[in-house]
């Protein structure tokens, strides 16, 4: 029954998309500036039905309806209800349905919240968005249907991958998809703008809040995925430059460049075609990420599927998007002559965009180069952290300096009146760095430059905040986001410099000593849980310098559905550091391998990203208030 209901709604939704495209195209030919009510009504019905369709799939997971292939392959009756619900989007088919929900909701909301813009622009945006919706609906219906039935109905399901049964990963996909899929609406708007030559400054007001929404949620999604990888995957890092991690970062670079370019476009009516290009690139990179994750060409813990036919469909869809975008862009492109003063806010924002494009190209090449090498030469190579660290980190130093100075530069033509203040801030940053060197630990020249530039950005942003409060003209969103980014780089740098990592084979009752620490494996316990069994180690960590004592309990979990062995880290967090411990068994031995890490300032890395997002939401609320 649920299979029939879900499939019926999907077909009706496809019919509604075709109807909206037809009516919108018909309404384009009328001379008045009003959009007919039928289009609003159909868009509302379309959004409502696709949400009902998604709740139908959730219901199938909750009641363990194993007559659906998706439920059978990704759930079982003993799984906790929370993870049954999360399992709805924790698989390829269900996540695609979530994609369509976001596409349709953004389409409807854009239609009703942009009534002050030209009718042709709004209708064409709606038509292009519904073409995208149709593309994904056809993909779901004919290749990746979450409502495909199974007969005879199995008595039990196969279960969800245990490492996906986690609260952080339950909310990670919806957050990331709002960012990924949210970029579709300004892709559609950019295409519509090119078609109707809507290049006025008001175009930026039609998309800037949508860019902010997708950027904020994309950032949150990346953060939650990073937190999950930190405590679940056992490597103790917050970013491993995994290809699928990179796939979420690529559109973020484009979104960040777009956010800043829109400031110039709205203020000075410059960079129209560059804004259009960034709108197109952002969604194209989002679909590229989808292709990488779902095609099976990447081997990663984050990938959804390994069915080549799915990859072929997405590749065709992606190619059609790219070629149609390029064709329309070249057809409508008009050369723009900018007489930009080298010392102006416009130039500094353009430099910001150059940095973002440099990071984007670097990460894109590092992600896809191994794929092409494997396809062309049958040689598997790996591009990992050393590549990215060597290329990106030196450039970050210069980027942070521009990021500190840029916001205070004036439009059109600037005079550096505060140059003495900036030299004082730089001197203060150098002194703080020297104090760290003298009293704590020395580190590499590059690390010195990163710490100094991060401190320079932080102090400059805080100084801007104090000055703005005195003048009663505070740009709180920008100050919070920029200062928090400086803190993020600072905490990442200090975390890298002062981390400790040790690896030992140890048996019950044995103690290992290193530096100022000792680790003792006190005991092992075997416990049964509703969804798994666990071997729990109890380890005592002593800091001999401060007499601090901590008990950590890493686990080896044994799942039955599906049969899987996982290693769960035990983490003790405080404001200054994390103690991070994993344990794994050694075959035919009384010894266990333990990996101990001391990770300074981890919680402040997460808090810095949250503050960056808060800055984004403050800007969104401010825009909404004035519009």
Question: Does the pLDDT value for residue 616 go beyond 70?
Answer: yes
| Average pLDDT over every residue of 301-322 | 74
568 has pLDDT over 80 = yes
Residue given tokens 């007001």 in the structure block = 205
Residue 105 falls within a domain, yes or no? yes
Q: Is the pTM of this model over 0.75?
A: yes
Most trustworthy range by pLDDT among 275-284, 295-304, 552-561: 275-284
- Which residue do the tokens 């003048």 mark? 471
Percent of the chain with pLDDT over 70: 97
Report residue 523: phi and psi, to 5°.
Answer: -165, 170
In the prediction, which pLDDT does 298 show? 62
The pLDDT mean for the chain works out to 89
- Give the HSE-up count for residue 446: Cα atoms under 13 Å, Cβ half-sphere: 11
518 close to 610: Cβ distance less than 8 angstroms: no
pLDDT band at 350; cut points 50, 70, 90: very high
* CA 438 from centre of chain: 38
Nearest-angstrom CA–CA distance, 364 and 282: 13
DSSP string, 107-163: HHHHHHH-TTS-HHHHHHHHHHHHHHHHHHHHHHHHT--TT-B-SSPPSS-----GG
Mean pLDDT value across residues 337-354: 85
* For the ranges 152-166, 480-494, 561-575, the one whose mean pLDDT is highest: 480-494
- pLDDT value at position 164? 73
Interatomic CA distance for residues 173 and 94, integer angstroms: 11
pLDDT for 465 beyond 60: yes
Report if residue 31 sits inside a domain.
yes
- Both structure tokens of 512: 């290992």
**Residue 299's pLDDT band (boundaries 50, 70, 90)?**
low
φ, ψ (nearest 5 deg) of residue 200: -70, 165
- How many domains would you assign to the chain? 2
The stretch 390-402 carries a mean pLDDT of: 94
Whether 224 is in a domain gets the answer: no
- Give the Cα separation of 330 and 535 in Å (integer): 62
Give percent of the chain with pLDDT exceeding 90. Answer: 58
* Residue 463, domain member (yes or no): no
pLDDT (0 to 100) of residue 303: 54
Peptide bond into 562 cis (omega under 30): yes
At 439 the pLDDT is: 78
Mean pLDDT of all residues in 550-565: 86
Predicted confidence (pLDDT) per residue in 25-49, tens digit = 999 988 888 899 999 999 999 999 9
Per-residue pLDDT tens for 331-341?
Answer: 888 877 777 77
Q: Are 214 and 248 in contact (CB under 8 A)?
A: no
- Omega before 563 within 30 of 0, i.e. cis: no
Q: Which of 165, 180, 208 is the last residue of a domain?
A: 165
pLDDT in tens, 223-263: 999 998 888 877 777 788 888 888 899 999 999 999 999 99
Across 18-22, 307-311, 385-389, 475-479, least confident range: 307-311
pLDDT at 364 over 60: yes
| Structure confidence at residue 302 as a pLDDT band (50, 70, 90) | low
Residue 385 token pair: 């952290």
What's residue 627's pLDDT?
64
Residue where a domain terminates, one of 165, 180, 212: 165
The string of pLDDT tens digits covering residues 545-557 is 888 899 999 999 9
Angle (CA) 403 406 618, round 5°? 70
pLDDT tens, position by position, 191-216: 999 999 998 888 999 999 999 999 99
Q: Note the pLDDT of residue 102.
A: 95
**Which of 165, 189, 209 finishes a domain?**
165
Query: pLDDT grade, residue 296 (50/70/90)?
Result: low
Cα–Cα dist 194/330, whole Å = 10
For residue 29, the SS3 value is coil
DSSP 326: H
pLDDT at residue 560 in the model: 77
Check whether 304 has a pLDDT greater than 80: no
Residue 541 to residue 44: CA distance in whole angstroms: 58
On whether the CB atoms of residues 571 and 546 are closer than 8 A, the answer is: no
Is 456 inside a domain boundary? Answer: no
The answer as to whether 26 is a domain residue is yes
pLDDT tens digit sequence for 502-533 = 999 999 999 999 888 999 999 999 998 877 88
Domain range spanning residue 10? Answer: 1-165
184 in any annotated domain: no
pLDDT at 301 over 60: no
pLDDT of 600-615, one tens digit each?
A: 999 999 999 999 999 9
Q: Is 489 a residue whose pLDDT tops 80?
A: yes
Tokens of 515: 């530096």
In a domain, 360, yes or no: no
Question: Which pair of structure tokens corresponds to residue 373?
Answer: 């090498």
């Amino acid at each position: 029954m649920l299979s029939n209901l879900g499939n019926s709604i999907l077909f009706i939704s496809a019919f509604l998309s075709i109807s909206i495209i037809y009516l919108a195209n018909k309404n384009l030919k009328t001379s008045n500036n009003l959009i007919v009510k039928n289009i609003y009504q159909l868009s509302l019905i379309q959004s409502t039905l696709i949400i009902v369709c998604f709740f139908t799939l959730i219901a199938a997971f909750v009641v363990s309806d194993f007559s659906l292939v998706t439920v059978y392959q990704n759930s079982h009756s003993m799984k906790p209800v929370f993870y049954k619900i999360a399992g709805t989007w924790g698989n390829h088919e269900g996540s695609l349905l979530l994609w369509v929900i976001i596409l349709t909701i953004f389409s409807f909301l854009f239609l009703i919240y942009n009534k002050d813009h030209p009718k042709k622009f709004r209708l064409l945006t709606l038509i292009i968005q519904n073409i995208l919706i149709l593309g994904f609906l056809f993909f779901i219906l004919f290749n990746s249907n979450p409502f495909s039935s199974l007969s005879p109905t199995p008595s039990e399901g196969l279960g969800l991958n245990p490492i996906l049964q986690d609260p952080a990963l339950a909310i990670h996909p919806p957050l990331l998809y709002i960012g990924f899929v949210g970029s579709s609406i300004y892709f559609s708007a950019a295409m519509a703008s090119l078609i109707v030559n809507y290049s006025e400054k008001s175009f930026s007001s039609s998309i800037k809040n949508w860019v902010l929404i997708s950027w904020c949620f994309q950032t949150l999604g990346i953060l939650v995925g990073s937190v999950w990888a930190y405590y679940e995957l056992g490597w103790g890092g917050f970013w491993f430059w995994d290809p699928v991690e990179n796939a979420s970062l690529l559109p973020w670079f484009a979104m960040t460049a777009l956010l800043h370019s829109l400031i110039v476009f709205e203020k000075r009516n410059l960079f129209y075609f560059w804004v259009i290009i960034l709108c197109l690139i952002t969604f194209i990179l989002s679909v590229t990420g989808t292709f990488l994750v779902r095609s099976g060409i990447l081997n990663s813990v984050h990938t959804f599927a390994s069915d080549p036919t799915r990859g072929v469909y997405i590749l065709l869809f992606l190619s059609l998007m790219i070629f149609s975008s390029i064709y329309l862009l070249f057809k409508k492109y008009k050369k723009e002559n900018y007489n930009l003063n080298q010392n102006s806010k416009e130039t500094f924002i353009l430099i910001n965009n150059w940095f973002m494009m440099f990071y984007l190209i670097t990460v894109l090449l590092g992600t896809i180069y191994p794929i092409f090498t494997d396809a062309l030469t049958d040689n598997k190579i790996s591009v990992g952290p050393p590549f990215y660290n060597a290329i990106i980190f030196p450039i970050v130093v210069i980027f942070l300096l521009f990021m500190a100075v840029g916001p205070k530069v004036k439009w059109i033509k600037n005079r550096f009146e505060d140059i003495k203040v900036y030299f004082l801030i730089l001197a203060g940053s150098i002194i703080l760095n020297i104090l760290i060197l003298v009293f704590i630990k020395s580190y590499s020249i590059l690390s010195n430059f990163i710490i100094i530039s991060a401190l320079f950005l932080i102090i400059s942003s805080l100084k801007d905040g104090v000055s703005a409060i005195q003048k009663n003209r505070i740009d709180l969103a920008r100050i919070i986001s920029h200062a928090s980014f400086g803190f993020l780089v600072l905490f990442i740098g200090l975390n890298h410099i002062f981390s400790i990592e040790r690896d030992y084979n140890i048996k019950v009752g044995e103690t290992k000593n290193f530096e100022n620490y000792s680790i003792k494996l006190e005991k092992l316990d075997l416990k049964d849980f509703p969804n798994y069994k666990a071997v729990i180690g109890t380890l005592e960590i002593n800091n001999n310098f401060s007499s601090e004592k901590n008990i950590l309990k890493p686990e080896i979990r044994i799942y039955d559905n599906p049969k899987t062995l996982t290693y769960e880290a035990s983490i003790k967090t405080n404001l200054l550091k994390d103690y991070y411990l994993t344990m794994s068994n050694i075959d035919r031995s009384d010894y266990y391998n333990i990996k101990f890490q001391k990770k300074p300032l981890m919680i402040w890395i997460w808090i810095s990203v949250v503050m960056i997002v808060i800055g984004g939401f403050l800007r969104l609320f401010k825009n909404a208030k004035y519009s």
